[in-house]
Amino acid sequence: MPCISSSPTQHRQKQNFQANLDDMIALVSRPLTHKEIQSSPSAKAAITKEANGLREMGAWDDSSVMEYDALMAKSRASGEIIHHARCHVLCHEKDAESNSGVMKGRIVFGGDRIKDTFGSDAVFDATGTAPSAIASTRCTIAYGHASGNVCRVADATKAYIQSKLPDGWTPTWIELPRLLWLDSWGEFRRPCVRLIRPLYGHPLAGDMWQGHATDLLLQNGFTAVPEWPSMFYSKSTGILLSLYVDDFVVSGPALHVPATMTLLRGLFRLGVDAPIGRYLGCVYEVEPVVKDGVTINNIHFNMSSYVKSCVDAYTTIVQDTITKKKLDPKSAGRLLSLPFAATPSLEANQEIPEEDGGILNDDAASIVMKIMFAARIARPDVLKTACHLSTFLTRWSPRQDLELRRLVCYLKHSADLVLTATIGDKFEDLELVTYVDSDYAGDYETYKSTSGSWTTLRGPRTDFPISYVSKKQTAVARSSTEAEVAAADVAIRKELLPLTVLLDEITDIPMPRSLHEDNTAAKCILTGSVSKELRHMARTHRISTAFLQEAVKSCHIAVNYVMSADNIADIFTKLFTCAEKWANGIGLLKMSIRTPAK
């Protein structure tokens, strides 16, 4: 064949990649052993700094110091019930691979061994911490980027320490390690001090912080949103606040948000507030676009770095499993090959080798749950497959090995796929829209159907996803209509109605709401028709069609028909293997490859 001659090129010197490797991968902190802490002045200084900060906040009362034996003898003689636990010091070296030498000290409560006056295990009521849900957080972010509004995020410094042990609480004493002793404690052997504030590690520290934060917010103009824990709204200022453990997300009119942040700083110790950025492992990239004189905010939910870490974790676990179980590299090594995959699901009829148990049966849960987190936050395209694999964690087989490998192959080659939300309207001009769908007997083992739903805020210049669901139904459906009605029950009862409660708290006029269904028979049943063929659903699915009809009517939910090809919820109900149909589903989700910023 013809060839084109070219001019000779000069030899290129091989780059010394290893010389810069440490600077490139310095992302991991390393815990120090007790011996390393004792011999490291920087580690001791980090722990001393942490202890001084806790003492300044009054975490414990140094003036109450008592010897352990004297404390126990006194409480037993008086009959007073107390709790006692040890306090532990931890220290981590940040960016350990680069030998940065930067230390971070932590002082924690030994919550695994809490004893009472007589040496018995301390008993606590069930913990009741309830942080804000993902759907309510997305509503807060959407509200903060609507026309005329802003969104700010700040985290509470040493959040749990900002609360106190309640009055009348069982007196709690902690035994301090020698690194935390004062100079005047030389004669003590086991010094104990009275705990004033719940340290990290206390079983009820989260409950106490949440109660403390809630009380302060309610006393300063906020009201709790019914049925939505850790969500607060101020009607006088129009501020919506979401509290996720120690993270405050504050959204509302640009005129009132600065004053609200000032108020919060007077109530809590907060870090520097900033626009929404990295939050719960997801990077929210806000891209304002001006169109026809109107600013439209495109918000990209970017989890590419987290997804890549999922792939790396899978590779590491497979390599360790092959070594630990002494498996044949040729047969087991197929799990390390990660070629391009257009869809995340394996064909149901693919031949699987006959073996007892899967290779990854011991470690599959850690990988699947890591991927599940990404799916719940910003990767709805893999939610169905992750939920499917989660049902096999206790009965893992060779087929699940290959299904997980296929999912990781897809993630590896779609790591930069991001979900994009758009909002450019006033919040009161939006509509709450839910798409609902189900497959029919799609589970290849149980023949049960899967319910799927997609809920979004929609307007002329807005399409902001709020929640999505993929859930296997509890009983086998005898018809596609039955499966669709069961799916509608999940969408209405668990998504549409609760979100209505939240949104009605914000808007003066109830927000319009609609349900989009691609089954005409199910649509007729939801709007009032009666079917004798579904009378058994109250027994099998525990679903009342009368309840659904009443909810649709009383809550003014418009039930509309949508073509199956346009039903966004379809992607949550089936294990797609057709690349063309999968591409259509990705397009409906408004997901696209986003080039990493340079």
Element (H, E) at 126: none
Q: In angstroms, how far is the first alpha carbon of the chain from the final one?
A: 41
Task: Report the Cα 580 to chain-centroid distance in Å.
Answer: 31
pLDDT band at 5 (very low <50, low <70, confident <90, very high): very low
- Domain end (from 221, 252, 276): 276
112 with 261, same domain: the answer is no
When mean pLDDT is compared across 7-16, 153-162, 417-426, the lowest value belongs to: 7-16
Task: Report the Cα 550 to chain-centroid distance in Å.
Answer: 33
Q: Is position 377 within any domain? A: no
Average pLDDT over the chain, rounded to an integer: 89
188 with 267, same domain: the answer is no
Q: Is the pLDDT of residue 12 over 90?
A: no
pLDDT band at 127 (very low <50, low <70, confident <90, very high): low
Question: What does 150-211 look like in DSSP terms, one character per residue?
Answer: EEEEEEBTTTGGGS-PPTTPPPEEEEPPGGG--GGGTT-SSEEEEE-S--TT-TTHHHHHHH
C-alpha torsion 105→106→107→109, nearest 10: -160
Q: What tokens appear for 228 in the block? A: 């939505």
80 with 228, same domain: the answer is no
The three-class DSSP label of residue 280 is coil
- Residue 522 and residue 45: Cα distance in Å, rounded? 67
Structural domain span for residue 525: 425-562
Q: How far is CA 494 from CA 483, 489, 498, in A?
A: 17, 8, 6
pLDDT attached to residue 22:
38
pLDDT band at 352 (very low <50, low <70, confident <90, very high): low
151 with 170, same domain: the answer is no
Q: Is position 526 within any domain? A: yes
When mean pLDDT is compared across 6-20, 48-62, 88-102, the lowest value belongs to: 6-20
- Residue 120 and residue 113: Cα distance in Å, rounded? 10
pLDDT attached to residue 36:
87
- Domain end (from 225, 251, 276): 276
pLDDT band at 112 (very low <50, low <70, confident <90, very high): confident
118 with 150, same domain: the answer is no
When mean pLDDT is compared across 82-96, 229-243, 269-283, 523-537, the lowest value belongs to: 82-96
Q: Is position 144 within any domain? A: yes
Q: Is position 352 within any domain? A: no
Task: Report the Cα 29 to chain-centroid distance in Å.
Answer: 22
In one letter, which amino acid is 129?
T
219 with 268, same domain: the answer is yes
Q: Is the pLDDT of residue 97 over 70?
A: no
Question: What does 392-425 look like in DSSP terms, one character per residue?
Answer: TTTS--HHHHHHHHHHHHHHHTTTTEEEEEEE-S
Phi, psi dihedrals of residue 514, rounded to the nearest 5°: -145, 155
**Residue 167 burial (10 A CB sphere; 0-12, 13-18, 19+):** exposed
Q: How large a percentage of the chain has pLDDT more than 70?
A: 91
139 with 249, same domain: the answer is yes
pLDDT tens-place string over residues 424-460: 999 999 999 999 999 999 888 899 999 999 999 999 9
How many Cβ atoms are within 10 Å of 262's Cβ, its own excluded?
9
Q: Is position 525 within any domain? A: yes
63 with 24, same domain: the answer is yes
Q: Are 205 and 165 in contact (CB under 8 A)?
A: no
Mean pLDDT of 176-195: 92
Residues in the chain, total: 598
Mean pLDDT of 354-359: 72
Q: What is the reported pTM?
A: 0.87
Q: What tokens appear for 46 in the block? A: 């980090």
Highest mean pLDDT: which range of 329-343, 347-361, 566-580: 566-580
CATH code of the domain containing 548 = 3.10.20.370
pLDDT attached to residue 21:
34
41 with 170, same domain: the answer is yes
pLDDT band at 351 (very low <50, low <70, confident <90, very high): low
pLDDT attached to residue 594:
82
pLDDT tens-place string over residues 571-598: 999 988 889 999 999 999 999 998 754 4
- As separate numbers, helices (DSSP H) first and strands (DSSP E) second, the chain gives 18, 22
- Residue 473 and residue 486: Cα distance in Å, rounded? 7
Mean pLDDT of 227-240: 94
71 with 149, same domain: the answer is no
pLDDT attached to residue 99:
63
187 with 109, same domain: the answer is yes
pLDDT band at 372 (very low <50, low <70, confident <90, very high): very high
450 with 522, same domain: the answer is yes
pLDDT tens-place string over residues 450-498: 999 999 999 999 999 999 999 999 999 999 999 999 999 999 999 999 9
Q: How large a percentage of the chain has pLDDT more than 90?
A: 69
Q: Is position 102 within any domain? A: yes
- Residue 261 and residue 265: Cα distance in Å, rounded? 6
Q: Is position 349 within any domain? A: no
Q: Which long-range contacts (CB under 8 A, 24 or more apart) does 255-260 make?
A: 257/150, 257/152, 260/234
pLDDT tens-place string over residues 55-80: 999 999 999 999 999 999 999 999 99
| 546 contacts: CB under 8 Å, gap ≥ 6 | none
CATH code of the domain containing 221 = 3.30.70
**Residue 324 burial (10 A CB sphere; 0-12, 13-18, 19+):** exposed
Q: Is position 456 within any domain? A: yes
Number of domains in the chain: 3
- Domain end (from 230, 257, 276): 276
pLDDT band at 350 (very low <50, low <70, confident <90, very high): low
C-alpha torsion 307→309→315→320, nearest 10: -140
